[in-house]
Structure 1
Amino acid sequence: MLMKVALPQLELHKIDNQFQNIPHAHDDQYQITVPVKGTCYFNYENRDMTLGAGDGLVLNPSDRHYFHTSDDASLIVIRVNHGSGGAGITDPAARQHLEPGAMLSYFQRWAGQMLTVEPADRLAVEETQAMALHDLQQILRGGGTEGKPAKAAADRNVLRVLDYIHARYAEQLDIDTLSAIALQSRYHFIRSFKLATGMTPYQYVLHLRVEEAKAQLRRGSSTVTEISYSMGFSSPSQFYRTFMKFTGVTPEYYRGQS
Structure 2
Amino acid sequence: MMEMSIRTERMELFKGADRFSNRSHRHGHWYQVTVPVQGVCHVMMENKPYRLNGGEGLIQHPGTEHFLRLDADSSVIIIKIREDALGLEQASGSLPEFAVRQRMDPGELSRLFRHWTSELMFGDAPDPLAAQETEIRVLHYLRATLNGSIPERGLESKVRDVHIHQVLEYMHAYYAEAVSVDDLAAVAKQSRFHFIRNFRECTGVTPYQYLLMLRVDKAKQLLKSSGDSVADISCSLGFSCTSQFHRAFRKFAGMTPGEFRQS
Aligned counterpart in structure 2 of residue 150 of structure 1, from 152, 158, 162: 158
Whether 1:107 and 2:109 are equivalent positions in the alignment is: no
Q: CA deviation at 1:87?
A: 5.6
Question: 3-state SS of the aligned residue for 2:22?
Answer: coil
* Cα distance in 1, alignment partners of residues 186 and 87 from structure 2: 19
Q: How far, CA to CA, are the matches of 1:29 and 1:142 in structure 2?
A: 17
- 2:70 aligned partner: 69
Q: State the shift of 1:86 in Å.
A: 7.4
More displaced 10-residue stretch of structure 1: 203-212 or 91-100: 91-100
Tell me the distance in 1 between the aligned counterparts of 2:114 and 2:241.
28
Greater mean deviation of Cα atoms: 220-229 or 188-197: 220-229
Determine the structure 2 residue equivalent to 1:32. 33
Match of 1:222 in 2: 228
Within 2, Cα distance between the matches of 1:249 and 1:205? 19
In 2, the alpha carbon distance for the partners of 1:240 and 1:102 equals 32
Matched, 1:121 2:127: yes
Matched-pair contact (CA < 8 Å) for 2:38–2:73: yes
> Who is 2:21 aligned against?
20
Cα distance in 2 for residues equivalent to 1:207 and 1:74: 40
Separation in structure 2 between the aligned mates of residue 110 and residue 87 of structure 1, nearest angstrom: 22
Per-residue deviation, 1:106: 3.2
Per-residue CA distance 1:167-210 (angstroms, 9 max, x = gap): 21111211112112222221211111112212100100100100
Give the distance between the partners of 1:237 and 1:110, measured in 2 at CA: 20
Partner deviation per Cα, 1:51-104 (whole Å, 9 max, x = no partner): 122221111233222221111322111111232237667211122222323333
* Residue-by-residue CA offset, 1:13-71 (whole Å, 9 max, x unaligned): 12233222222223332211111221111111222221122221111233222221111
State the 1:148 CA deviation. 8.6
- What residue number does 1:50 align with? 51
Give 5+ residue unaligned stretches, structure 1. Answer: none
Partner of 2:96: 90
Aligned partner of 2:250: which letter? M
**Contact in 2 for aligned 1:29/1:86 (Cα 8 Å):** no
Q: Unpaired segments of 5 or more residues in structure 2?
A: 90-94
TM-score, length of structure 2 as denominator length = 0.86
> Is the Cα contact below 8 Å between 1:6 and 1:114 reproduced in 2?
no
Residue 143 (structure 1) shift? 10
Q: Percent identity?
A: 40
User: Is structure 2 residue 146 aligned with structure 1 residue 165?
Assistant: no
TM normalised by structure 1 equals: 0.87
**How far is the alpha carbon of 1:144 from its aligned partner?**
7.9
Give the Å deviation of 1:122. Answer: 1.6
Decide whether aligned partners of structure 1 residues 86 and 4 sit closer, same or farther in structure 2, where only a CA change above 3 A counts. Answer: farther
The 1:114–1:148 alpha-carbon spacing in structure 2 relative to 1, beyond 3 Å, is farther
> Aligned pair in 2 of structure 1 residues 23, 142: CA closer, same or farther (>3 Å)?
closer
| Distance (Å, rounded) in 1 between the aligned partners of 2:178 and 2:72 | 47
* AA matched with 1:245: K
Secondary structure in 1 matching 2:177:
coil
Contact 2:143 2:150 in 1 (8 A): no
**Equivalence for 2:211:** 205
